[in-house]
Amino acid sequence: MKVLAINAGSSSLKYQLFEMPSETVLCSGIAERIGMNDGIFSLKVNGEKFEEVLEIPNHSVAVELLLKWLIDHKIISDYNEIQGVGHRVVHGGEHFAASAMLTEENIQLIEDVAELAPLHNPANLTGIYAFKKLLPDAVAVAVFDTAFHQTLAEEAYMYSTPYEWYEKYAVRKYGFHGTSHQYVSAEAARLIGKAPEDAKVIVCHLGNGGSLSAVKNGKSVDTTMGFTPLAGIPMGTRSGDIDPAIIPFIMEKTGQTAAEVVDMLNKKSGFLGVSGLSSDARDIEAGINEGNHRAELAAFIYAKRIAEYIAAYHVYLEGADVIAFTAGIGENAPYIRKCVTRRLGVLGVKLDEAVNESIRGKEAIISTDDSAIKIAVVPTNEELVIARDTLAFMN
């Protein structure tokens, strides 16, 4: 059975086509920089990579490109060969504690909480609708980022706000990137020779969006993102944690509404806001190499916040076994890993700088043998988690 796993981000659409249940990857690829004139669409099949730079105005166009390329490259001969499509959906609110079939009712529930993840849920829904139109007979499943973090203790997910906000409006920490944190924490444990149920792992999922998690014995016990994906560390265009009083202050100074200010915090902050260059970490690194102070500042703020959360989670876990870097930046930006880990020397963390510089996009231990906490790079595989859950519904 062919199952397509779809991971639609705010500016990307990542995909893998699996033959299940063997979990054989038939092809994979990504549409990047969606919404930009210099979008990149790529496909890997049989060890060969095809790539084209073109305008990808939205996620609907990305989906059409994907299915066209599958036909053009003779990976499938007919759309009906794809029997299942699993979609990453960022926010399930309190409606979903596990994956779910994409019935009309469940799609409406996803729409109902779209305001909680304004950069992602609408993109996820665009992908869902596009695939339902082009593959109406395929089993469609939503796999929620929030599900893995449902194991947080009350002290970890509740805010110190009026309790009726939780009772009436479900205001609490939900956490995101759950499929990635679930997969990477288990793989990182195995990489250091431990069973996932016996390991204490800090996962640093660093991409255009980013979050950290503390995972103890295979279960999430804390994570940086909160009620929405805006919380936690700075990201490509998101501010991360700020003093909430900044919002009414800026409203008063600029005449903007609360929604407009929050939109700025979601779409005009982070790397983009500080550097003034780009939301892409590759552009930030290029700016640093050119001596751009604001690019360097953006990277240093980013690294400082990440290191602070790692230190806090190390304490909460009563001693982490391994720190795992994953996702686009975590896997491919040695300079960011170095910026973060050099701030953790007081914890006995020691980076093998030569190994770190050589690792991009592959699994490895990048700490020295005498590091008190192991440091690992673990490529995430959210798509495999999505495919497995989709197959379960198909069966």
140-195, pLDDT tens digit by residue? 999 998 989 999 999 999 999 999 999 998 899 999 999 999 999 999 999 999 99
Tell me what pLDDT residue 193 has: 97
Q: Where are the alpha helices (DSSP H) in 74-216?
A: 104-112, 121-134, 154-157, 163-169, 178-191
**14 labeled binding residue:** yes
Q: What is the mean pLDDT of residues 334-343?
A: 97
| 3-class state of residue 1 by DSSP | coil
Q: Indicate the residue type of 103.
A: T
- The closest of 152, 130, 154 to 140, measured between CA atoms, is 130
Does the annotation flag 331 for ligand binding? yes
Coil, helix or strand at residue 242 = coil
| Mean pLDDT of all residues in 303-319 | 98
Q: Do domains 2-144 and 194-377 have the same CATH topology?
A: yes
Phi-psi region of 122 (alpha: psi -120 to 50; beta: other; left: phi over 0): alpha
pLDDT of 178 = 92
- At 111, the amino acid letter reads E
Does the annotation mark 145 as catalytic? yes
Q: What are phi and psi of 211, to 5 degrees?
A: -155, 155
What is the spatial distance between Cα 277 and Cα 256, in angstroms, rounded to a whole number? 24
Confidence of residue 130 (pLDDT cuts 50, 70, 90): confident
Nearest partner of 302 among 245, 389, 366, 234, judged by Cα: 234
332 is in an annotated binding site: yes
Helices 334-341/281-289 angle, 10° precision: 80
Quick check: helix, strand or coil at residue 88?
Answer: strand
| Domain boundary assignment for the chain | 2-144, 194-377
Q: What is the pLDDT of residue 103?
A: 94
Contact 356, 366 (CB under 8 A): yes
**Any binding-site annotation on 175?**
no
257 CB neighbour count, 10 Å cutoff: 10
According to the model, what pLDDT value does residue 395 have? 85
**Is pLDDT above 90 for 51?**
yes
Domain 2-144 has CATH 3.30.420.40: yes
Confidence at 45, pLDDT banded by 50, 70, 90: very high
Q: Which of 145, 222, 321, 389 is catalytic?
A: 145
Whether domain 194-377 has CATH 3.30.420.40: yes
Distance CA 287, CA 219 (A): 39
Establish whether 289 is an annotated binding residue.
no
Strands, sheet with 374-377, edge to edge from the N-terminal-most edge strand: 219-223, 210-216, 200-206, 322-326, 374-377, 364-365
39 is in an annotated binding site: no
Distance of CA 96 to the CA centre of its chain: 18
Short-list 35, 61, 213, 223, CA closest to 126 = 61
pLDDT for residue 59? 83
The per-residue pLDDT for range 275-291, each reduced to its tens digit, is 999 999 999 999 999 99
Which tokens is 70 given? 């599958």
The answer, yes or no, to whether residue 126 has pLDDT greater than 90, is no
